[in-house]
C-alpha cells in the first residue's frame, strides 16, 4: 500500500477541516501529553540529552565540508555543543537541482502521502523536539511541546492538504469538442502542475518549527526541492523534522536531498548568497522587517514573509475588568512576550474604561494589569514556566533601554529564579504609561516583555491609532474589549481595512497570542507585518504553475 493510500483518510479530513474552519487537530495535545505514551516525555528528555555535545548524524546528507554548531541554552546559558554537517552553497544548490526532476514527476498524491508519513514519524519525537525547543528558544516546557510538536505538525498537514487540493483543482486531461456547424474541432487537452524550482526556507530563533514547517511542506507537496536554513541559534528542532523527511524519502527510493538542511554560523552566514542565487525561486522568511523587505525586493523570486509588527489592544467597555486584566496579563507573560502575536500597545481613553455605571481610569487599569502580571510571575507554580527564558541577549538590552523612556513606569522588569534552571536568563514584563502624542515610542516593535499603556482622547482615537500603526508598521493581531455593538463593528471594519484580525472580549482560556491551525489565518499578508498567510490558497498556488498542452485529434 502506498503512503497516499495509507494516509488518504487523514488528508481528506484535513481538507474538510480547511473548508469548515471548525476545531480540528490531527495531532492533539489534549487532554494530556501522555496521549503520546506514558514514557514518551522521559524518553524524549533522554534522547535530547544524548544529542548534547555530539555530532547530529541523522541527516542523510553525505560528505560535509565541516561540522558547525553554536546553539546555547537560555536556561543554562551554556553551549549545547551539538555539531551539524555544513555544506557549501554550491553543493546544496547542485544537489537540489539533481533532485528536482525526480521529485516533480512524482504525483501530488504520492508527494502528499510521503509527507504525511514524515509527520507520523515525527509524532514519536514530539518530546525530543520539545526539549530541543526549550533549550534553543527559551520557551517554557508546555509551549515547547505544543508549538513545536502537535501544533507545528498540524500546520504542516494544513499546508499539505491545501497544496494537494489546489493541484487537484482542475482535471488532468479532457476531450474538448467545439461544434462548428457541419464539423467540429476536437482537441485533447492536458494540464500539468509545474513547480517553480528550489525553495529556501529561512527559520527564526524563537519558533524554529512552527514558523518554518508551513513553507517547507507547502513547497515540498507542490514538487519543489527545499533548502531549510535555520537560525544558527535554533537548529536542532527543525533538524529533527528534516531528518525524518529525508528518511521517508530514502525509504521510498527517492533522493533524500529533496529536502536539505543548510546550516551556518553567526559569523559567516549563507542566507544572502542562497537567497540571491539564480536557481532559488521560492523564499519563505520569518524575522525582522529590514531583512524581510530586502528579500521581497529580490527579482525573479516568489517570496513569502512574516515580519515585525506592532500589535494593539483597544479598551472601551467591559463586563469584568479583572478578567480582562488577567487575560491580558497572561498574554504578556507568556514566553516573555517573545511572540509575533503578543500585545504591545494598549490604548485606553482618558475618560476611562466603562464597566456598568463605573469608569475604570487609565491609572486604575495600569494598577490592575501590573497586579495581574505580578500574580502570575510570583506564583512559583506558574511564573517561571509561563515566562520561559529570554532567547536573545539583545532582548534584555531592549528592556533596559525601554525602562529609560519618557513615561511612567507602573511595573519594572526584573528577574526571578527558575527552580529547575538557576542560571536561566529571565526578564519579567514591564509596563510603561505614555501619551498618544509620543508616537516615537510606540510606532515600532519593542520585541519582548514590554507593554505600553497609551492614554487617548477617546475610543475613536484609539481605533484610529491602532489602524494607523497596522497600516504603517504592520500588525499580526489586535485585541478589543467593548460591549457596545456599534463600537465593535467600527473596530472590526477599520481594522479589517488595515488587514488585521481582531479578537474581541477574550477573558477565558483563549489568548490573543494563539492562532489555531485549520481555522485561523496566521498573518493576513495585507499589511507591512508580512506578505503571506498561513495557510490561504495563495500560500500554495504561488509555488507552482499550471501549463496547458493541446493535441489536435484528426
Question: Quick check: 229 and 215 in contact, CB under 8 A?
Answer: no
Residue 492 to residues 209, 463, 464, 479, 501, Cα–Cα distance (Å): 31, 10, 12, 10, 8
pLDDT (tens digit per residue) in 490-532: 999 999 999 999 999 999 889 999 899 999 999 999 999 999 9
CA–CA gap between residue 77 and residue 423 (Å, rounded)? 6
pLDDT (tens digit per residue) in 304-315: 999 999 999 999
Which residues of the chain form CATH 3.40.605.10? Answer: 3-22+48-307+532-552
Class of domain 3-22+48-307+532-552: alpha beta
Mean pLDDT to the nearest integer, 453-468: 98
Q: pLDDT at position 508, please?
A: 86
pLDDT surpasses 90 at 170: yes
Q: Is 431 helix (H, G, I), strand (E, B) or coil?
A: strand
Q: pLDDT at position 262, please?
A: 98
Mean pLDDT to the nearest integer, 249-263: 98
Omega of the bond leading into 31 within 30 degrees of 0 (cis) = yes
N- to C-terminal Cα separation, the chain? 40
- Residue 63, CB half-sphere, CA atoms under 13 Å: how many? 5
b/e burial code for range 332-341 (CB count within 10 A of at least 16 → b): bbbbbbbbbb
Among 269, 260, 303, 271, which Cα is nearest to 94's?
260
Which residue bears the cell 519594572?
Answer: 412
Q: pLDDT at position 137, please?
A: 98
Q: pLDDT at position 406, please?
A: 94
CA–CA gap between residue 408 and residue 265 (Å, rounded)? 40
Q: pLDDT at position 31, please?
A: 74
* Cell reading at 448: 519582548
DSSP per position, 241-297: HHHHHHHHHHHTTS-GGGEEE----SSS--HHHHHH-TTEEEEEEES-HHHHHHHHT
CA–CA gap between residue 325 and residue 346 (Å, rounded)? 11
Q: What are 284's strand-pairing partners? A: 201, 304
Instruction: State which fold the 312-504 domain adopts.
Output: Aldehyde Dehydrogenase; Chain A, domain 2 (3.40.309)
Containing 79, the helix (H) or strand (E) segment is strand 78-79
Q: pLDDT at position 32, please?
A: 74
* Cell reading at 107: 504525483
pLDDT surpasses 80 at 14: yes
DSSP per position, 286-351: ES-HHHHHHHHT-TT-EEEEE-----EEEE-B-S-HHHHHHHHHHHHHGGGG-STT---EEEEETT
Task: Give the predicted TM-score (pTM) of the model.
Answer: 0.96
Which residue bears the cell 523570486?
Answer: 301
pLDDT (tens digit per residue) in 369-384: 999 999 999 999 999 9
Q: pLDDT at position 321, please?
A: 97
Question: Quick check: 427 and 448 in contact, CB under 8 A?
Answer: yes
CA–CA gap between residue 545 and residue 191 (Å, rounded)? 10
* Cell reading at 501: 484580525
Polymer length in residues for the chain = 554
Q: pLDDT at position 509, please?
A: 87
Give the model's confidence band at 1: pLDDT under 50 very low, under 70 low, under 90 confident, else very high: confident
Q: pLDDT at position 30, please?
A: 79
Give the model's confidence band at 420: pLDDT under 50 very low, under 70 low, under 90 confident, else very high: very high
Per-chain mean pLDDT for the chain: 96
pLDDT (tens digit per residue) in 328-348: 999 999 999 999 999 999 999
CA–CA gap between residue 144 and residue 389 (Å, rounded)? 12
Mean pLDDT to the nearest integer, 117-141: 97
pLDDT (tens digit per residue) in 89-117: 999 999 999 999 999 999 999 999 999 99
Residues 243/247/248/250 CA torsion (nearest 10 deg): 130
Amino acid at each position: 500500500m502506498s503512503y497516499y493510500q495509507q494516509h488518504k483518510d487523514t488528508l481528506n479530513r484535513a481538507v474538510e477541516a480547511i473548508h469548515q474552519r471548525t476545531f480540528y487537530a490531527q495531532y492533539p495535545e489534549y487532554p494530556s501529553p501522555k496521549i503520546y505514551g506514558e514514557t514518551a516525555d522521559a524518553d524524549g528528555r533522554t534522547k535530547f540529552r544524548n544529542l548534547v555535545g555530539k555530532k547530529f548524524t541523522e541527516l542523510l546528507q553525505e560528505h560535509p565540508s565541516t561540522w558547525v554548531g553554536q546553539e546555547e541554552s537560555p536556561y543554562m546559558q551554556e553551549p549545547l555543543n551539538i555539531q551539524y554537517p555544513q555544506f557549501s552553497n554550491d553543493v546544496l544548490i547542485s544537489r537540489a537541482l539533481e533532485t528536482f526532476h525526480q521529485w516533480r514527476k512524482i504525483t501530488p498524491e504520492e508527494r502528499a502521502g510521503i509527507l504525511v508519513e514524515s509527520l507520523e514519524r515525527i509524532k514519536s519525537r514530539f518530546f525530543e523536539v520539545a526539549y530541543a525547543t526549550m533549550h534553543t528558544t527559551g520557551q517554557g516546557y508546555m509551549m515547547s511541546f505544543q508549538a513545536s510538536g502537535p501544533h507545528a505538525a498540524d500546520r504542516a498537514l494544513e499546508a499539505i492538504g491545501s497544496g494537494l487540493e489546489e493541484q487537484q483543482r482542475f482535471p488532468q486531461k479532457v476531450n474538448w469538442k467545439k461544434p462548428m456547424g457541419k464539423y467540429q474541432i476536437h482537441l485533447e487537452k492536458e494540464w500539468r502542475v509545474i513547480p517553480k524550482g528550489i525553495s529556501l526556507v529561512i527559520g527564526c530563533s524563537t519558533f524554529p518549527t512552527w514558523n518554518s514547517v508551513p513553507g517547507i511542506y507547502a513547497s515540498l507537496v507542490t514538487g519543489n526541492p527545499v533548502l531549510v536554513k535555520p537560525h544558527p541559534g535554533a537548529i536542532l528542532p527543525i533538524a529533527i523534522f528534516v531528518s525524518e523527511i529525508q528518511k521517508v524519502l530514502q525509504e521510498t527510493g527517492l533522493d533524500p536531498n529533496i529536502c536539505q538542511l543548510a546550516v551556518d554560523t553567526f559569523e559567516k552566514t549563507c542566507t544572502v548568497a542562497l537567497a540571491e542565487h539564480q536557481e532559488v525561486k521560492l523564499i519563505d522568511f520569518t524575522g525582522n522587517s529590514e531583512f524581510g523587505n530586502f528579500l521581497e525586493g529580490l527579482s525573479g523570486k516568489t517570496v513569502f514573509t512574516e515580519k515585525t509588527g506592532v500589535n494593539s489592544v483597544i479598551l472601551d467597555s467591559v463586563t469584568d475588568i479583572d478578567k480582562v486584566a488577567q487575560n491580558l496579563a497572561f498574554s504578556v507573560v507568556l514566553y516573555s512576550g517573545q511572540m509575533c502575536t503578543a500585545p504591545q500597545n494598549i490604548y485606553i481613553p482618558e475618560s476611562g474604561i466603562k464597566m456598568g455605571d463605573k469608569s475604570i481610569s487609565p491609572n486604575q487599569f495600569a494598577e490592575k494589569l501590573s497586579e495581574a502580571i505580578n500574580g502570575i510571575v510570583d506564583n512559583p507554580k506558574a511564573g517561571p514556566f509561563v515566562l520561559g527564558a529570554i532567547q536573545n541577549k539583545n532582548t534584555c538590552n531592549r528592556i533596559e533601554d525601554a525602562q529609560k523612556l519618557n513615561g511612567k513606569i507602573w511595573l519594572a522588569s526584573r528577574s526571578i529564579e527558575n527552580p529547575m534552571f538557576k542560571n536561566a536568563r529571565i526578564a519579567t514584563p514591564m509596563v510603561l504609561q505614555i501619551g498618544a502624542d509620543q508616537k516615537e515610542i510606540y510606532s515600532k516593535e519593542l520585541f519582548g516583555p514590554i507593554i505600553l499603556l497609551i492614554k487617548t482622547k477617546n475610543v475613536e482615537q484609539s481605533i484610529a491609532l491602532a489602524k494607523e500603526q497596522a497600516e504603517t508598521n504592520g500588525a499580526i493581531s489586535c485585541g478589543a474589549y467593548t460591549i457596545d455593538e456599534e463600537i465593535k463593528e467600527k473596530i472590526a471594519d477599520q481594522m479589517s481595512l488595515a488587514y488585521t484580525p481582531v479578537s474581541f472580549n477574550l477573558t477565558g482560556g483563549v489568548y490573543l497570542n494563539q492562532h489555531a491551525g485549520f481555522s485561523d489565518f496566521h498573518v493576513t499578508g495585507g499589511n507591512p507585518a508580512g506578505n503571506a498567510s498561513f495557510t490561504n490558497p495563495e500560500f500554495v498556488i504561488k509555488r507552482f504553475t499550471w501549463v496547458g498542452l493541446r493535441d489536435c485529434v484528426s
